[in-house]
Every structure is written in C-alpha cells, then in structure tokens.
C-alpha cells in the first residue's frame, strides 16, 4: 500500500478552530476520501505545524487525482484557508508529497 505524507501550518490563533472543523468534518468529504482509497488518515500538530499521513489503497496517484478533481475538496480547501496555510502542488492540486527518507519495518 502506498503512503502519503504532507505538512502545513495553522494560522496564529486558529488552532482551536482548525481542530473544531476537523471534529465536524463533512460526511461528503469522508465519503470522497474513502472512495479515493484513502485510509488510516491521521493529522498531528506540533505547535502550529501540521503533519498529515494517510495510506492509499488505490495508489497515491489515484488518491491525488480524485481529490484534485473533486468540488467537495475544493470547497473544503476554501473553507479551511482562513485557518491554515497550505501550499498546493500545481500539477496534482494536492499537498506536495513529502519524500520518505527512512523506514523501520
């Protein structure tokens, strides 16, 4: 199974709102992510720095394409832009994939 990891920043003073919005994640977004093969999705925060990780049952390329083509994801990104700063990959329309440098099995 392919893995996907990304980083972003929470805007100053917006951490509680960021967490609140994720606690109230839209059912249609959850459905879209699952249809894209996204599973085991977790986001961690270190101060205002975010680290997200998920696994892609249908591959990273497929998951990125489904998300990039989704109006639900577009609406979520618009909804979240007042609480977070996220650079998007101009090719995939998703967060840039981090480069894995180590694995311990």
Active site members = 22
Q: Name the one residue in this structure whose structure tokens are 């489904």.
A: 66
Chain-centroid distance, C-alpha 18: 13
What Rg do the C-alpha atoms of the chain give, in angstroms? 13
Chain-centroid distance, C-alpha 22: 11
- The widest CA-to-CA distance across the chain, in whole angstroms, is 39
What residues contact residue 33 under an 8 Å CB cut-off, 6+ apart?
Answer: 41, 54, 67
């Amino acid at each position: 199974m392919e893995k996907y990891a990304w980083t972003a920043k929470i805007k100053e003073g917006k951490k509680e709102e960021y967490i609140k919005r994720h606690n109230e994640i839209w059912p249609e977004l959850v459905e879209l992510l699952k249809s894209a093969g996204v599973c085991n999705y977790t986001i961690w925060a270190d101060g205002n720095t975010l680290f997200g990780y998920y696994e892609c049952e249908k591959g990273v390329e497929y998951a990125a394409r489904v998300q990039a083509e989704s109006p639900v994801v577009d609406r979520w990104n618009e909804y979240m832009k007042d609480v977070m700063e996220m650079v998007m990959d101009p090719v995939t329309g998703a967060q840039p994939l981090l480069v894995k440098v180590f694995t311990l099995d």
